A and B are shown apart, each in its own frame.
Chain A
Amino acid sequence: MLDKNGIARRIAQELQDGFYVNLGIGIPTLVANYVSEGISVEFQSENGILGMGPFPFEGEEDADLINAGKQTITALPGASFFDSATSFGMIRGQHVQMTVLGAMEVSESGDIANWKIPGKMVKGMGGAMDLVASAENIIVAMMHTNKAGESKLLKQCSLPLTGVGCVRKVVTELGVLEIKDGAFHLLERAPGVSVKEIVAKTEGKLVVPDFVPEMAL
């Protein structure tokens, strides 16, 4: 089974040289820690920076330099700043090649819910709806089940949707699943995880091939 860093490490394997990438808050942010040697990617934060770097050294924080999670960051050589309309132009115009975000629920048809729990959490969608509506390559990083142990990979989302038919891949602590033709397709298992466990914890339609390799990290 993977921990949060393991999920991020596996997602980092999806990065390709030359990709511009948008990372959401939470596990997705950790993906930046595992970019493999020899490839160049640039991270976009939708509040207005391309070429986002690591957190600043203590004492070097700049209130005018933050990411979409409102954390202080740095800008790498070659970085640029821009306004919010330009930023979402990059996203809507599909200039960003990969988007990684968290989710509360994902359905077998690729619907995603991650912004609202009626009566409990109403914080707003931020840029998530724009991202999922336009990005071609959306990877969801999340736990396979919720705190009550219920599957988050569903036939149909029960929470208010963020977008429809948009998620391409889901990476959880248990494995990697691709979404196509109205089903989750199990591509890889996490180290030490059985197919049986994944089947038991996936409520949506799951296609399991004869051989499911253990992921290489």
Chain B
Amino acid sequence: MIQKTVSDAEEAIRGLRDGMTAMFGGFGLCGIPENAIAAIRALGIKNLVCISNNAGVDGFGLGLLLETRQIRKMISSYVGENDEFERQMLSGELEVELVPQGTLAERCRAAGAGIPAFYTPAGYGTEVAEGKEVRVFGGKPHILEHAFEADFAFVKAWKGDEAGNLIYKGTARNFNPMMAMAGKITVAEVEELVPAGALDPNEIHTPGIFVQRIFLGAHFEKRIEQRTVRSKTAQF
């Protein structure tokens, strides 16, 4: 067994430097690497290029790194719900590349799977396609999209073992598995860290080969963005 455990978030982000490109798992605030984000903020690393489906909200998630101006460029599919983000984008302080969500996921997956580029129909005929190669397959136009390159990937899982194997919970899985595959150094933070052998190999979502460092998150707030409930009597 190759041991991947590190003691905490600070040790886990070692080697992350100004100007690097980093992926952050999560959809909205669900399944985000809260502990790594807090450590990056504390260390004050600047000019990061961040690949993440969303940019957090004011005061939480990647919103914390926007607040301290640690992000130079965001590559995301949806960046609403964040006033500071909008302010920095409109003032030109922050560079933004908007990517269709499925293309974003596939560019991560491709990066981890050794596929340099692929064709997708998403975005054809829109401004997303500007400057991109178009090719027709089966009578339908597709555009060429390239795999990402990332120095680090920060992912969050529910359970992990010392060998780096990961299991996600619910919809907190989202981008985490593909980003785990894509990072040159992948850092996983988990809610439960167990010895190798304690997880059933049949149930592993991300095999440990994709994970270089794993640590038990000191604190997970797991904030809910839209708390929607129904009363006991209401119908669906």
Chain A residues near B108 (CB, 8 Å)? 85
Q: Which of B98, B174, B223 contacts A125 (CB 8 A)?
A: B98
Q: Is the CB of A48 within 8 A of B171?
A: yes
Chain B residues near A84 (CB, 8 Å)? 27, 53, 101-102, 104-105, 174-175, 178
Q: Is the CB of A71 within 8 A of B105?
A: no
- Give the dominant DSSP class at B's interface: loop
Chain A residues near B176 (CB, 8 Å)? 83
Q: Which of B25-74 contact A (CB under 8 A)?
A: 27-31, 53
* CB nearest to A54 among chain B residues: B236
Min CB distance, B37 to chain A, in Å? 16
**C-alpha spacing A73/B123, complex, angstroms:** 29
Q: Does A53 contact B (CB under 8 A)?
A: yes
Interface residue range, chain A: 35 or more
Chain A residues near B225 (CB, 8 Å)? 66, 70
Q: Is the CB of A129 within 8 A of B123?
A: yes
Q: Is the CB of B77 within 8 A of A126?
A: yes
Q: Does A97 contact B (CB under 8 A)?
A: no
Chain A residues near B31 (CB, 8 Å)? 64
**C-alpha spacing A65/B104, complex, angstroms:** 21
Q: Does B161 contact A (CB under 8 A)?
A: no
Q: Is the CB of B28 within 8 A of A66?
A: yes
Interface residue range, chain B: 35 or more
Q: Is the CB of B171 within 8 A of A45?
A: yes
**C-alpha spacing A6/B71, complex, angstroms:** 45
Q: Does A214 contact B (CB under 8 A)?
A: no
Contact string against A for B residues 164-185, beta-carbon threshold 8 Å, 1 for contact and 0 otherwise: 0000111111111110000000
* CB nearest to B107 among chain A residues: A85
Q: Is the CB of A70 within 8 A of B28?
A: yes
Q: A64-B30, A88-B106 are in contact. Are A55 and B230 (CB under 8 A)?
A: yes
Q: Is the CB of B102 within 8 A of A72?
A: no
* CB nearest to B124 among chain A residues: A133
* CB nearest to B225 among chain A residues: A70
| Partner-binding segment picked from A13-21, A155-163, A187-195 | A155-163
Chain A residues near B229 (CB, 8 Å)? 55-61, 72
Q: Is the CB of A127 within 8 A of B173?
A: no
Chain A residues near B205 (CB, 8 Å)? 83
Min CB distance, B176 to chain A, in Å? 7
Chain B residues near A147 (CB, 8 Å)? none
Q: Does A99 contact B (CB under 8 A)?
A: no
Q: Is the CB of B27 within 8 A of A47?
A: yes
Q: Does A32 contact B (CB under 8 A)?
A: yes
Min CB distance, A11 to chain B, in Å? 16
Q: Is the CB of A92 within 8 A of B102?
A: yes
Q: Does A134 contact B (CB under 8 A)?
A: yes
Chain B residues near A123 (CB, 8 Å)? 78-80
Q: Does B228 contact A (CB under 8 A)?
A: yes
Min CB distance, A152 to chain B, in Å? 18
* CB nearest to A33 among chain B residues: B236
Q: Is the CB of B227 within 8 A of A65?
A: no
Chain A residues near B209 (CB, 8 Å)? none
**C-alpha spacing A66/B30, complex, angstroms:** 8
Q: Does B120 contact A (CB under 8 A)?
A: yes
Chain A residues near B124 (CB, 8 Å)? 133, 163-164
Chain B residues near A81 (CB, 8 Å)? 168, 170-171, 173
Chain A residues near B105 (CB, 8 Å)? 83-85, 87-88
Q: A124-B76, A163-B125 are in contact. Are A55 and B228 (CB under 8 A)?
A: yes
12 residue pairs bridging A and B, Cβ less than 8 Å apart: A46-B101, A48-B173, A55-B230, A64-B169, A66-B30, A72-B227, A83-B175, A87-B105, A92-B102, A122-B86, A160-B127, A163-B126
